[in-house]
Amino acid sequence: MSNPESIESQPRNESSESFQDLLSQFEQSKSRKPEEAGKGREGTVIAVTVDSVLVDIGFKTEGILPLTAFQNAKETVKAGDKLLVSIKGRDPEGYYELSLGKIERPTDWASLKKAFEEKTTIVGTVTGLVKGGLSVDVGVRAFMPASRSGVRDAAEMAKLVEQEIRCRITKLDEAEEDLVVDRRVIAEEEERAGKERRYSEVEVGAIVRGTVRSLTDYGAFVDIGGVDALLHVSDISRGRVSKPADVLSVGQEIEVKILKIDAEKRRISVGMKQLEPDPWDSVATKYHAGERARGTVTRVMDFGAFVELEPGIEGLIHVSEMSWAKKVRTPSDIVKPGETVDAVILGVSAGERRISLGLKQTLGDPWADVATKFAVGSAVEGPVTSLTKFGAFVQLSEGIEGMIHVSDMSAEKRINHPQEMLKVGQSVKAQVLEVDPEKRRLKLGMKQLLPTSIEEYIAERQEGSVVSGRVMEISGEQARIELGEGIHARCRIAAAGPVEGKTVAESKADLTSLSSMLKAHWKGGAGAVASRREAVRAGQIRSFRITKLDASAKKIELELA
């Protein structure tokens, strides 16, 4: 390693200096005792530059002090000021490196012992590298372990040789002349003091500059002047940021705003987006209910999807607003992150920072013309989409479903559950019974399209036709006649002669044989039917003539044949 005070390192910018002057200066510096380098001497400030202070210390070449020495001490300096400085060595340009302060190098064991007991800071000069650390001259030879040097590797340790350092004695044995010093503890104390001072200086709301020191998935740590502050990923930009590394890099200088200071936990939170205008301030004037908007799907949740309309502004499409045609169980079946979608603005709440969006509204409301498209009484057809305990839902068109109640499925028999007649996917025909566009409800019936037994009976016969039937009951001059299962008619019997007024209850044995008796008659068994002259009685099978057929009222009138 070259000697920093070698002739080759002397400044060459003073052309008036002769070689003899330089040699003389070198010899004078070599002749000084080692301990003189650490003693304080008075100097006069001759100039202050952007980053350093030039000091006249009585030598041919000036000394130089870093300007940060005054900033850390909260002092100001100007040309003409008198300073007490110590000489640390020479820099590559030949200037004397100075340190500010009145720290004296101990010159005897008594002063070293006092410094050890009081844990005060002393000054020493690193004289060389030794096994496991450095040799330091503090008036006597001391050892500084590599781990307590305050540097990370051997290359940085080598740079300390011939440098003046501040340190603290951690072990002193005068008898063995064993002295151990620690430089790292001083640096750590100064760092803590600097952080304490910085914590007291920063205020919430202040805008400061900092340097990105490291990046994580959840944010970035920013050095804002000796202390680290956390810039959370959500505070980087008004727009959505997935990873801090997408917009920041280590070493980048940024401007941030102090958001929160936790003095106890020594935590500072900062933000970048807070320096940008808040887009929600103009939401009320830019977005209105009923208008269309286009955006990018940023997140898909179980309850819906978030859509970024502009950086910092997101709206929510609820799962119920995604489709007219079907009940969407999973929003991801309809939209995907990164997809661009058109939506209708359903509501805007700038105060709550919420915008409600609808996807299905962009396709138009299929219920708008349902009353004319599916008029009451019209016949419709469609597939069964689902079954419930009370009925079945049938899709009539895109977004339109009608419900068939279980009681409207069959006129012939009682249905306990829709699955007794229908299954999902089956195509069915039904009649529109009721339409309510406001409640989005459409009621259908299947049995209304199927002809009943009496309708078929009336359709197959004409007035004047002779038919067979059984007398069910007699009331005055009227009798109720059963012409078939579920088919009843009225017959006037006033002119029929004597009547035996048995009730239905009194003729139970005869009633059970109606089907077989009619069957026998229809096959030609005339003997099974009572004569016209025979008195009319309940349970009797007789011939009747149809006098009137009323299909609309579903009524049949008879007379004895």
The residue among 341 and 503 whose pLDDT is bigger is 341
- Are the C-beta atoms of residues 187 and 195 closer than 8 Å to each other? no
Above 50 in pLDDT, residue 22? no
Q: How far apart are CA 506 and CA 206, in angstroms?
A: 105
Angle at 458 between CA 456 and CA 461, to 5 degrees: 110
Q: How far apart are CA 523 and CA 251, in angstroms?
A: 109
- Give the bridge partners for 125, in sequence order: 137, 164
DSSP state of 447: G
Tokens 């004409």 belong to 462
Tell me if residue 536 falls in helix, strand or coil. strand
Region 134-155: what's the mean pLDDT? 89
| CA 517 centroid distance within chain | 79
pTM for the model: 0.42
- Give the bridge partners for 45, in sequence order: 55
Tokens 């000084």 belong to 32
pLDDT at 181: 93
Above 50 in pLDDT, residue 29? no
- Domains by residue range for the chain, with CATH: 7-100 (2.40.50.140), 109-188 (2.40.50.140), 202-275 (2.40.50.140), 279-363 (2.40.50.140), 370-449 (2.40.50.140), 453-560 (2.40.50.140)
Show the tokens assigned to 178: 């064993």
- Are the C-beta atoms of residues 217 and 209 closer than 8 Å to each other? no
Q: How far apart are CA 167 and CA 183, in angstroms?
A: 4
Amino acid at 406: V
pLDDT at 355: 93
Scanning 436-542, the segments in alpha helix (DSSP H) are 453-460, 508-511, 514-522
Q: How far apart are CA 409 and CA 214, in angstroms?
A: 71
Above 60 in pLDDT, residue 265? yes
pLDDT band at 197, cuts 50/70/90? confident
Positions of E strands within 96-218: 96-100, 122-130, 133-137, 141-145, 164-173, 178-182, 207-215
Q: What distances in angstroms separate CA 482 from CA 17, 486, 493, 501, 529, one per listed residue?
A: 145, 8, 15, 17, 14
- Are the C-beta atoms of residues 431 and 444 closer than 8 Å to each other? yes
- Give the bridge partners for 110, in sequence order: none
pLDDT at 34: 42
The string of pLDDT tens digits covering residues 54-106 is 888 888 788 888 887 776 655 678 888 888 887 777 777 778 888 776 455 55
- Give the bridge partners for 557, in sequence order: 490, 548
The string of pLDDT tens digits covering residues 223-237 is 887 788 899 998 998
Q: How far apart are CA 227 and CA 248, in angstroms?
A: 19
Tell me if residue 59 falls in helix, strand or coil. coil
- Are the C-beta atoms of residues 411 and 445 closer than 8 Å to each other? no
Above 60 in pLDDT, residue 4? no
